[in-house]
Structure 1
Amino acid sequence: MRIRATVAAVTGALALSALAVPAAQADDGRSWNGDYAFSAPTADPQEAKGAKSRMAAGLVEQQGDTKVVSVVANGGKPLVVGTKSKQKYTIAITASDDSGIADVSTILWIGSEFEGEDSFAFFQNEDRAGCKVVKANTSTCKLTVTLDPAFMINSDATYWRIGAAAIANDGDYIQNDLAAKVRVQRFSKLTVNASPEPVKKGKTITVTGKLTRANWETGTYKGYTKQAVKLQFKKKGATSYTTVKTVTTSSTGTLKTTVKASADGYWRYSFAGTPSTPAVSAKGDYLDVK
């Protein structure tokens, strides 16, 4: 069971009433437990020290004039997750209230609705956010959320919702389960090999490689099929690559093409990325042309 609390302001304080709610379970079999977490202000500052509250989750809930101004995950960049390592990302919440902001909380979730049969979520790591006043009555607070590939499925490579809640020094609060969204992607890898080496000028070389991406369901990297990948060349002494041709990955993610060797330099494959998979370029393979 997940124990949750409903927050209400009573005579300037927070009245906490525990409400038992069954743990949410996605229809893919994953279950999750947790709620927005706060260090809760009360009428007595000493009483507030160390006090915790949890807000019940709904789409939008508000009391008073507290506002969430903005929510930004990972500086506005996608959250990329591989097959083994947990990835920690920062979520910055800017909120305002005429009494100042006491604390904020966040939840990163996916599904058609917050507690729907297809929902799943990751929660903040900290008990309390790190907040900095940016102007009168407005603070930017930072928290981190850790994504664990052991609990992810491939269809999670899409937009996730960011729930944000803020509580003010006077007990006012706002909670918005749809405050923002962020794209989550499957980490990608790309290899290249140009051969034979060395090679005579004007002779044909073969450039092979493979494009793979994280498969969260198997914990391995699998070939990314039917993807357009650029073959690029950087002449020795040059500072940038030039695209030579576009090659499409095979049914197993492999790449293979032939070109004429014209000068010493570096060959690489470069993938522009897709909504579910980030861009990646192989480390250049140097080819000596005689």
Structure 2
Amino acid sequence: MRIRASVAVVGGALALSALALPAAQADGGQGDTAITKVVVDGDNKVTIGTSNAVTVKVSVTATDDSGIKGADEFALFGPDNGFATTGKPTCTDVTATTATCTASVKIDPKTDSLTNKSAGTWYVDAWVDANDEDYVWKEKAGSFSFQRAARLTANAAPEPVKKGKTLTVTGALTRANWESLTYGGYGSQSVKLQFKKKGSSTYTTLKTVKADSKGNLKTTTTATADGYYRFSFAGSSTTAAVSATADFVDVQ
């Protein structure tokens, strides 16, 4: 017999769904049912901005010698009491003993109670049933990065410029503030200045620059050939990676 306990969201920081969650004090199950893989949005990264709702897809792969019957709603949770549950998963057989169950939840920064502290590592809890009454319940069956969206700009001047002369490249790194629904400066972050020669398909990193306390960027480089300049930010534990739209410079 299953023992189910309701889950309360403490503090009200983020409550994306009021659906009940099957829960227990620890991992558990019956028989040989096992969860083998959890993937969120294809790459285990979810990026949320300030205006558009994002549909987050969760895929849980499980196995049992009798095959997989179905799954309960998946629970997603993270820092600052971040919490959401998906809709009812749909399970598709991969083999006679293995199936992948998928479900989604929509997160809207305009209506859901996101806080900036909610960004970081989130986890997936999952309950999967087998055809022979076996089941598995696993807390933190998988994890993913729940990140604030970022923006980055770049402008190289003067344009055009003589070969061998100095170019000044400026820009700004900002990120989503989920509480004010605006983008604000993301200061003191390391950003790469990159160059792609005209006709090439790849960028080369020229140097690494640190943004000031307000996210502003400014550096210089020597003009060598026609090409594209951009800043590129690798991302952080709370903020998504982003590259600026490149600025083309004609070197004469």
TM-score normalised by length of structure 1 = 0.77
Match of 1:161 in 2: 123
Match of 1:231 in 2: 193
The AA in structure 1 aligned to 2:106 is T
Match of 1:66 in 2: 33
Alignment of 1:226-265 (within 5 A): 226-265=188-227
CA deviations 1:17-70 (Å, max 9, x no partner) are 998x5x72333644563234xxxxxxxxxxxxxxxxxx3444323234332222
Which of 266, 281, 287 is matched with 2:243 structurally? 281
The AA in structure 1 aligned to 2:113 is F
2:105 is equivalent to residue 170 of structure 1: no
Counterpart CA distance in 1 for 2:223 and 2:145 is 40
Alignment of 1:1-290 (within 5 A): 8=1, 24-27=8-11, 29-31=13-15, 33-36=18-21, 55-105=22-72, 106-110=74-78, 119-125=81-87, 127=88, 129-149=89-109, 150-290=112-252
Q: Is the 8 A contact 2:14 2:83 kept in 1?
A: no
CA change 1:163–1:262 in 2 (3 A) is same
Counterpart CA distance in 2 for 1:157 and 1:259 is 35
CA deviations 1:146-178 (Å, max 9, x no partner) are 333332111222111100111123333222222
CA change 1:233–1:66 in 2 (3 A) is closer
Identity %: 44
CA change 1:78–1:30 in 2 (3 A) is closer
Counterpart CA distance in 1 for 2:66 and 2:200 is 58
Q: Is the 8 A contact 2:14 2:115 kept in 1?
A: no
Alignment RMSD: 2.4
Q: Is the 8 A contact 2:82 2:118 kept in 1?
A: no
Q: Is the 8 A contact 1:123 1:146 kept in 2?
A: no
Structure having the larger proportion of residues in strand:
1
Please state how far the C-alpha of 1:140 moved relative to its aligned partner.
Answer: 1.5
* Farther-moved stretch of structure 1 (173-182 vs 58-67): 58-67
Q: Is the 8 A contact 2:49 2:149 kept in 1?
A: yes
Counterpart CA distance in 2 for 1:57 and 1:87 is 29
Aligned residues, how many? 248
CA change 1:63–1:223 in 2 (3 A) is same
The AA in structure 1 aligned to 2:70 is D
Please state how far the C-alpha of 1:239 moved relative to its aligned partner.
Answer: 2.5
Gap regions ≥5 residues in structure 1: 1-7, 10-16, 37-54, 112-117
Q: Is the 8 A contact 1:210 1:254 kept in 2?
A: yes
Q: Which has the larger radius of gyration?
A: 1
Gap regions ≥5 residues in structure 2: none
The AA in structure 1 aligned to 2:123 is R
TM-score normalised by length of structure 2 = 0.87
Q: Is the 8 A contact 2:125 2:141 kept in 1?
A: yes
* Farther-moved stretch of structure 1 (136-145 vs 153-162): 136-145
CA change 1:144–1:202 in 2 (3 A) is same
